[in-house]
Amino acid sequence: METVSQEIKVATGSEQMPAHIARPASGGPHPGLVVVMEAFGLNDNIRAITGRFAAEGFVAIAPNLYFRQPNNVVAYNDLPGAFRLMGSIGDDQVVADMTAAINFLKTQKDVKPAFGTVGFCMGGRISFLTACRNQDVKATAPYYGGGMVTSRQPDVKPPIAFVEGLKAPVLAFFGGKDAFIPLAEVDAFRDALKNAGKTAEVVFYPDADHGFMCDERPSYHPLHSKEAFSKTIAFFKRNLG
């Protein structure tokens, strides 16, 4: 499907948040997706993934959640830089910024009122957290989001603490070689969703590593990347129409 994309600004409170938006060149109205960046920032990889969703029939927006910070995109080999940026944002502000992105989609004539969230790495956690705290989200697909059940920061509730507010089905992906997310955390996430009576599928690839969707990282897994993307597209089409 032919697509168009552009860099835009989205009002969040009194500020203007940069974002990348991609959409089908014609037709509609289409379901809306918020694509959440990795810890490394809103880079070309996330823009490309946003474009892939647009090519499948979604209006997809990727907000720059680090926009308040200088030097807010770092290379994949710069983990200290990624941790610095990741530590600069708080959950309440992130949810407000994500809500601003959804509210922007609501104003678009080619977007129907059916919104999903999908994210990678840090963005996996944020996409799920937003689904728990914003009931406009009708489906969420977090990829290798860490700290879902046990918070990694003092005085910060993990996303699962807000699970009672979750109205969206979940399709979550994890890898067995992911040193950032132990298998016990994956199991705890799956169990917590089940115990809360939520509709969820947790896909676990034993031979996949953290970042397996990103073809710019050594951990890229072509087979699982292709399969997971296909499952995600089917999931969103099924739940967002």
User: Catalytic residues, which ones?
Assistant: 121, 178, 210
Residue environment code for 149-184, b if the CB has 16+ CB neighbours within 10 A, otherwise e:
beeeeeeeebbbebbeebebbbbbbbbeebeebeee
- Both tokens assigned to 122: 């840090």
CB atoms within 10 A of CB 206: 9
Q: What are the angstrom distances between the C-alpha of 97 and each of 13, 86, 91, 100, 211?
A: 8, 15, 10, 5, 24
Residue environment code for 21-55, b if the CB has 16+ CB neighbours within 10 A, otherwise e:
bbbbeeeeebbbbbbbbbbbbbbebbbebbbbbbb
Look at the block and give the residue holding tokens 């203007």: 16
Helix (H) or strand (E) holding 180, with range, is: none
DSSP state of 161: G
Task: Choose among 139, 132, 95: nearest CA to 114.
Answer: 139
Helix (H) or strand (E) holding 108, with range, is: none
